[in-house]
């Protein structure tokens, strides 16, 4: 599974989220779209796109075509999710992979 994160005003949260996601067994790739042109992100274990302008929330979907996996976990920089919470969502996903969960 690929994790695609959207960052704008909370770089400290993105660093925390990436560090957490790197420990999750189901996440094999982490990609970050940084919408803040005033902040260049560099985070170990993540592919970062530092945008020259704020493209809004839809920019994250541009990374889907670049992801290594068919299953995508989207997360914004204002959402802190535990692995246990993620696993509950993932269990529901396994029961019906044809719908969107979130």
Domain range annotation of the chain: 2-95
Would you place residue 102 in the very low, low, confident or very high pLDDT band (cuts 50, 70, 90)?
Answer: low
pLDDT in tens, 53-95: 999 999 999 999 999 999 999 999 999 999 999 999 999 999 9
Contact 16, 80 (CB under 8 A): yes
Q: Rounded to two decimals, what is the model's pTM?
A: 0.93
Looking at residue 100, its pLDDT comes to 83
Return mean pLDDT, the chain: 94
DSSP secondary structure of 74-101:
EEETT----HHHHHHHHHHHHH-TTS--
Confidence of residue 97 (pLDDT cuts 50, 70, 90): confident
Could you report the per-residue pLDDT of 24-61, keeping only the tens digit for each? Answer: 999 999 999 999 999 999 999 999 999 999 999 999 99
CA angle 81, 94, 27 (to 5 degrees): 45
Look at residue 101 in the predicted model and tell me its pLDDT. Answer: 77
Alpha-carbon gap, residue 7 to 11, rounded angstroms: 7
């Amino acid at each position: 599974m690929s994790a695609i994160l959207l960052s704008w005003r909370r770089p400290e949260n993105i660093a925390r989220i990436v560090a957490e996601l790197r420990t999750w067994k189901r996440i094999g790739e982490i990609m970050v779209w940084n919408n803040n042109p005033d902040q260049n992100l560099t985070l170990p274990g993540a592919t970062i796109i530092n945008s020259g302008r704020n493209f809004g929330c839809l920019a994250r979907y541009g990374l889907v075509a670049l992801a290594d996996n068919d299953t995508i976990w989207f997360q914004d920089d204002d959402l802190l999710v535990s692995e246990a919470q993620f696993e509950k969502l993932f269990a529901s996903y396994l029961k019906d992979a044809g719908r969107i969960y979130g």
